[in-house]
Structure 1
Amino acid sequence: MTSAETGAAAPGPERVRLIQNEATTEIPVHLLFRDEEEGAGPGSGMASVFGPAQVPAAATGSSPLPGNAPLPGLARARQGSGEQPRVARRPQRPAAKAAARPVLPVDPSLAERPAAARSGVLAVAAGAVGLGGCGAGLWWAGLVPPFVLRLARLPVLEGAEPGPAQWALLAGSGALALCSFGGLGRGRTGRAWVVSLFGRYRGSVRRTGLVWINPCLKRRRVDVRLRHWRSAPLPAVDAQGVALRVVVLVVWRVRDTARATLGVDGHETYLRECVEAAMARVFSQLPADAFHGDGATLRNAEAVGDALTRLLVADAAPAGLEVFSAQPTRIEYAPEVAEVMQRRRIAALDMRHRESVLTQVVDSVEDTVTRLTLRGLVELDETERKALVKDLTVAFYTGHGDR
């Protein structure tokens, strides 16, 4: 056992100070191990729709940390004691079960992939060869009328009769011509085909121009251009339960043709229903108007549009749809409450105007009385001062009212 350990074990008459000017201060234990975690505030529900809430520095009672500041969660060391910063011990709390939105299922077999397609020029050439073979088979079998042979300047075969060879040539040439011309199609820019065989997805064709596709496959044409959908006035309810009528403009396109065609029963109908569902979530978080304050309202079209867009992007992705923006173009009250809410809005505006005018009048009166007193133009006692303030207030307020 070393001398240092012996000295630590045996109590001495007095404690030897390693630092002569050491000064210690008693600090409550609960301050050293204080839990600085903040619980979920009352606005956690709206943060899930309108994005994460930003807490200002003044609300937490601390200023932004500089580059060399200690990390939060470390207790401050006692000054002059040489003590290292202590890590605050936080009690283990059970993890809160967040109400996460269920993820919509996606069928992995319905991912878009290119289908087999050939150039239409080759199909036309093959069809011409098939038609030529059919004509040669008819001539070989003697089934061509004599006047057609004379017009075509072809010799007449004596004793020509249909046989197995002639019928085989006719069948093969006819099948080639039918298959070649039957699979021709005109691919347009911004359009695509979704092809399937006996209900099974075989691929998508996005080629343009003259295209040949297997004629045995079933084709469904899909518009993949950038489109916008302007809704009719849709019913909605704000946070105060007031009925609204909202018009929404959605900019979208079909990104995955397989999911949009085979994954849902009508992707346009699905998009409309997603818009109504997103509106019900977003518009129920805020009031339409703040009559007695400057709080957040649904009149902030940018914030409301961003929240709608985020919800629609998440809901439309499993259906192969890509939503670029969803903006409310008109928010108005329902006809049954429009007149009442209009009167309430006018009353609120009139009240704010009166408060503003009254504030200006009081400031003007105060400034006038102060100047008169400081310059020694008048000497007023308390009664005369109150009378002057009253007269000036009436005069200034009347003057503001005549404007």
Structure 2
Amino acid sequence: MTTTTSPLSESGPPEDGAATARPVRLIHTESTTEIPVHLLFRDDSGPAPVRLRPAVVARRQGTGEQPRPRRPAAERSRPPAPGVDPELVERPARVLPGIAGVLAGVCGAAGCAATSWWAGVLPPLAAEALGLPARGGTAGPGPAQWAAYAGAGALGLFGFGGLARGRTGRAWVLGLFGRYRGTVRRTGLLWVNPLVLRRRVDVRLRHWRSEPMPAADRGGVTLRVVVLVVWRVRDTARATLGVEDHEGYLRECVEAALLRVPLEAPGAGRRAMDAAQDALTRLVAADTAPVGLEVFAVRPVRVEYAPEVAAAMHRRRIAALDARHRASVLTSVVDSVEDTVTRLTMRGLVELDDYERKVLVKDLTVAFCAGRGETGP
């Protein structure tokens, strides 16, 4: 089996015995490009090849640059949340390994010692310990020595003053002259610019058990709810600089969500409590996301009536239980009376007219009710 391919150029007639060359498609406009596709085909007759649609790409007019691929809409950056500075996003800060600060501090201390020997103010014992020859007969440090002191001291202060220890689960938010300079999440010995302001933030998974908060059930009855919130700081920049107190903001969001989501009364089933938990988690997570907090769960762990309605709701519950008990007793008595009358008449033990039937039903009902009252439910 032999295959032939179409030529890639316009010029030149086709060779003898070869198929007519396909015309090469060209760019028709400056904004649309049709890319030719040449496929191998068989000599024998067969199904026609599938014609592919030309790919359309954009081209910047008048620049001659190659078209740039466009990112999908899902990969584009999302707009910032309302009320939050779009530039306030966590980014890593520039820090150095701790060995750099140690070396700078040691060099500063050595420079101060060398300057003291140069000025002749280094004690002989210290000079002998450092292996330096004794130097005396000087009038004290001059301008050159004071400048060397200043440089070596500044180097030592910057070296030792910038040493910091990074811990797992902790981060530093750095700021310089009121401007956010980055976040440090690294661990170990680090060197941070001593001029920046450091704010320590706990980024571990945390839980918070609230005090009793006001809530309401579907009927509008006031409740007291204790919730357990599982959360963590996701964006340290927004949590520290975007709000004054992110923990207080979280408490306010939980309290607002409890007033918006109706809870079930004490003693409700687990399914109702799970539905309320999911609704509370969604609301609190949506409210705290703009300030860099990530909420995993808001669980009501204790639900009780408010003190002002607890006594009334207790009496109401007792009355409801009593009503259900009376209804069950009455249903059982009526079933017993009906079964007794039906058996007596079906077996032919008695023949009753309407009046006698009513009297019998009345007597049996009184007797069964009296017996149920004595023996209990």
TM > 0.5: yes
* Alignment of structure 1 residues 75-224 onto 2, 5 Å: 104-159=82-137, 162-163=141-142, 165-224=144-203
Q: Give the structure 1 partner of residue 288 of structure 2.
A: 316
Q: Percent of pairs identical after alignment? A: 68
In structure 2, the partner of 1:339 is 311
* Residue aligning to 1:10: none
The offset of 1:112, in angstroms, is 0.6
Q: Report the Cα distance in structure 2 between the residues aligned to 1:289 and 1:179, rounded to whole angstroms.
A: 62
Matched, 1:353 2:325: yes
1:46-57 matched pairs, under 5 angstroms: none
Q: Classify the secondary structure of the residue corresponding to 2:208.
A: strand
Q: Partner residue of 1:98? A: none
Q: Deviations over 1:34-73 (max 9, x none)?
A: xxxxxxxxxxxxxxxxxxxxxxxxxxxxxxxxxxxxxxxx
Q: SS in structure 2 opposite 1:126?
A: helix
Which residue does 1:302 correspond to in 2? 274
Aligned-pair CA distance for 1:325: 1.1
The 3 A distance-change label for structure 1 pair 298 and 106 is farther
Cα distance change on mapping 1:242 and 1:139 into 2, 3 Å: same
Could you tell me whether the CA contact under 8 Å between 2:104 and 2:158 is conserved in 1? no
Q: Secondary structure at the match of 2:325?
A: helix
- 1:382 corresponds to: 354
Point out where structure 2 has 5 or more consecutive residues left out of the alignment: 1-80
> What are the Cα deviations for residues 269-316 of structure 1, in whole angstroms up to 9, with x where unaligned?
111111121111113xx67489xxxxx999932222211111101100
Please, what TM-score do these two structures have when normalized by structure 1?
0.66
Give the number of equivalent residue pairs: 294
Shift of 1:181: 1.0
* Distance change (3 Å), C-alpha of 1:220 and 1:340: same
Alpha-carbon distance change, 364 to 288 in structure 1, aligned in 2, over 3 angstroms: same
- Once the two structures are TM-superposed, the CA of residue 200 in structure 1 deviates from its matched residue by 0.6
Give the one of 233, 256, 277 matched to 2:212. Answer: 233
Using a 3 Å threshold, how does the CA distance of structure 1 residues 324 and 400 change in structure 2: closer, same or farther?
farther
Paired with 1:177 and 1:153, the residues of 2 have a C-alpha distance of 22
Amino acid at match of 1:191: R
Q: CA deviation at 1:205?
A: 0.7
**Residue in 2 aligned with 1:364?**
336
* 210-219 vs 388-397, greater mean Cα deviation: 388-397
Distance 1:121 1:374, change over 3 A: farther
The residue that corresponds to 2:254 in the other structure is: 275
Q: What whole-Å deviation, never above 9, does each CA across 1:161-186 have from its counterpart, x for those lacking one?
A: 53555444433322221111111112
Q: 1:215 and 1:366, CA in 2 relative to 1: closer, same or farther beyond 3 A?
A: same
Change (3 A) 1:134 1:400: farther
Separation in 1, partners of 2:102, 2:120: 27
1:69-111 C-alpha deviation (Å, 9 max, x unpaired): xxxxxxxxxxxxxxxxxxxxxxxxxxxxxxxxxx743321111
CA distance in 1, matches of 2:131, 2:258: 76
What is the aligned partner in structure 2 of residue 264 from structure 1? 243
- Please say if residues 90 and 236 of structure 2, whose CA atoms lie closer than 8 Å, have aligned partners that are also in contact: yes
Question: Quick one: distance in 1 between partners of 2:279 and 2:85?
Answer: 27
Unaligned stretches of 5+ in structure 1?
1-102, 291-295
Whole-Å separation in 2 of the counterparts to 1:193 and 1:289: 44
Does residue 329 in structure 1 map to residue 301 in structure 2? yes
Change (3 A) 1:136 1:368: farther
Deviates more, 1:331-340 or 1:106-115: 331-340
Seen in structure 2, the aligned counterparts of structure 1 residues 119 and 372 have a Cα distance that, compared at 3 Å, is farther
Tell whether the 8 Å contact from 2:266 to 2:304 is kept in structure 1 after alignment: no
The one-letter code matched in structure 1 to 2:277 is: G
Q: What is the Cα deviation at residue 384 of structure 1?
A: 3.7
SS of the equivalent of 1:108 reads coil
Q: Are the counterparts in 2 of residues 249 and 328 from structure 1 also a CA contact under 8 Å?
A: yes
Distance 1:304 1:311 in 2: 11
Structure 1 residues 238-247 or 311-320, which shifts more?
Answer: 238-247
Q: Which deviates the most, 180-189 or 236-245? A: 236-245
Distance 1:351 1:115 in 2: 69
Aligned match of 1:65: none
Letter in 2 for 1:311: L
Classify 1:170/1:366 alpha carbon distance in 2 versus 1 (closer, same or farther; 3 Å): same
Q: Distance in 1 between matches of 2:298 and 2:279?
A: 9
Query: What is the CA distance between 1:152 and its match in structure 2?
Result: 4.5
Corresponding position of 2:55:
none
